[in-house]
Amino acid sequence: MSRTLFDKIWDAHAVRELPGGLTVFYIDRHLIHEVTSPQAFDELTVRGLTLRRPGQMLATADHNVPTRHQNQPIQDPLSRSQVDKLTENCARHGVELYGLGHANQGIVHVIGPELGLTQPGLTIVCGDSHTSTHGAFGAIAFGIGTSQVTQVMASQCLLLDKPRRMRITVDGELAAGVSAKDVILHIIAALGTGGATGYFVEYAGSAIRALSMEGRMTVCNMSIEMGARGGLIAPDATTFDYLQGRPYAPQAENWNRAVAYWQTLPTDADAVFDAEHHFEASAIRPMITFGTNPGLGMPLGATIPVLTDVAEAAGLEKSLRYMGFTAGESLLGQEISHVFIGSCTNSRIEDLRTVAAFVKGRQKAPHVEAIIVPGSQQVARQARAEGLDQVLAAAGFELREPGCSACLAMNEDKIPAGAYCVSTSNRNFEGRQGPGARTLLASPLVAAITAVEGRLVDVAEYVQQLADV
């Protein structure tokens, strides 16, 4: 019987089918951080339970950490308490921790892939919505709630309903200046924030295969923003080349055996999906969001839509009121005061290279605060080794230390109320980057251009320059 990539991994990890449709599902990798793990560890203690397989867990500090002066005590009491609690719990239970000061510390969804912990065919969970990032390697990866974190800690399994399968195919070549971030924003704008609810999405097509692993991670990262349980991409030579030689990747003969297995995972030619969507890559343009969810996005040169459906129009009106925009308006020329380049969506070395290549020899606008937060210590080291830090500093950008930073208002990096921020993160909800902050999601390139111009401009103006870069 023909099977999809998702089916093959699911079947290999389904321990038992229970009456009523639930499946006891085995988890290979459990990633934790300081936000959702304390309550789960406490629950273990209350119930007298121990970790089933601590060797399958990895912890890091990312959400609450400051991105300046990480060698000093954390000033915010709540953030300091959460990070200290993670350190204490990991020491007590024998979980490997990459905390502040460790050479491997960083955002959980950045360090897993770069260390080779994320591999095709695995099941990976974390108490974080954007765990779907790891699906870029051909893994079933998804976020879980606190009670499920406890389940995995105690049993290495979860009780799950099997999701339906959706395939989103993007064929053709992307135009100059169009990135993976634009691809996923385009898809979410087309399908809506609920367009993939109840599905696990496989991304396919020539445009997807042409993406780097960093680009694939960006696409899978934002699957959750259209309601999907997760997203994944079939492993191929690009995947194998990225993984080979990384610390936790299989070595020597084990590598050959692993690749032989990984090559069996792609979806069978005649496998059937529950839903299919097709997009033409050449139709995708550099994107910007204009509302308070990732589905409210449009090409930079377009105008905010005028909706005729009463219910939809009411929701859009509320969103636009918060953002200070109006239906039918173009955002070209809109002044921006803050630019944030980072998060588990766009904080990898490829993202920093893109920004540095554009800003080299240029200066950010004087009124713009532009911060770049690498996703890990490894990314930060590589940026310095390549001289990107000097290029960015010369252009007026501040390169900080690794963490989730201004993606969410759980640390010191917040956007002021009423200020507009072009952000490479994954969510633009009300108050996501700070109370009253107004977030416009975009690619690293669009963010860099905006920082230099101090306002939103049509990237088409830079197409030739981009081709030269």
Angstrom distance (rounded) from CA 448 to CA 465 = 14
Q: Which domains can be identified in the chain, with CATH numbers?
A: 5-276 (3.30.499.10), 288-468 (3.30.499.10)
Residue-level pLDDT at 466: 60
Tokens of 419: 């200020």
What is the predicted pLDDT for the residue at 263? 98
Report phi then psi at 108, rounded to 5. -55, -35
Q: E-assigned strands of 27-108?
A: 29-32, 57-60, 96-98
If you count DSSP H runs as helices and E runs as strands, how many of each does the chain have, helices first? 16, 19
Sequence-distant (6+) residues with CB within 8 A of 361 are none
pLDDT of residue 468: 58
| Of the candidates 76, 83, 100, 96, the residue with the CA atom closest to the CA atom of residue 37 | 83
Position 460 scores a pLDDT of: 80
The tokens for 186 are: 């385009």
Sign of CA dihedral 283, 284, 288, 290: positive
- Specify whether the CB–CB gap between 303 and 328 falls below 8 A: yes
The whole-number pLDDT of residue 186 equals 98
DSSP code per residue over 109-140: HHHHHHHT---TT-EEEESSGGGGGGGGGS-E
Q: What's the confidence (pLDDT) of residue 190?
A: 97
Of 130, 148, 189, 199, which Cα lies nearest the Cα of 43? 148
Residue-by-residue pLDDT tens, the chain, 469 positions: 899 999 999 999 999 999 989 999 999 999 999 998 999 999 999 999 999 999 999 999 999 999 999 999 999 999 999 999 999 999 999 999 999 999 999 999 999 999 999 999 999 999 999 999 999 999 999 999 999 999 999 999 999 999 999 999 999 999 999 999 999 999 999 999 999 999 999 999 999 999 999 999 999 999 999 999 999 999 999 999 999 999 999 999 999 999 999 999 999 999 999 999 999 999 999 999 999 999 999 999 999 999 877 677 888 999 999 999 999 999 999 999 999 999 999 999 999 999 999 999 999 999 999 999 999 999 999 999 999 999 999 999 999 999 999 999 899 999 999 999 999 999 999 999 999 999 999 999 999 999 999 999 998 877 666 665 5
pLDDT at 312: 77
For residue 67, the model assigns a pLDDT of 97
Q: Which residues contact 144 (CB under 8 A, 6 or more apart)?
A: 125, 126, 127, 131, 152, 158
For the chain, the maximum distance between any two Cα atoms, rounded to a whole number of angstroms, is 65
Q: What is the pLDDT of residue 465?
A: 66
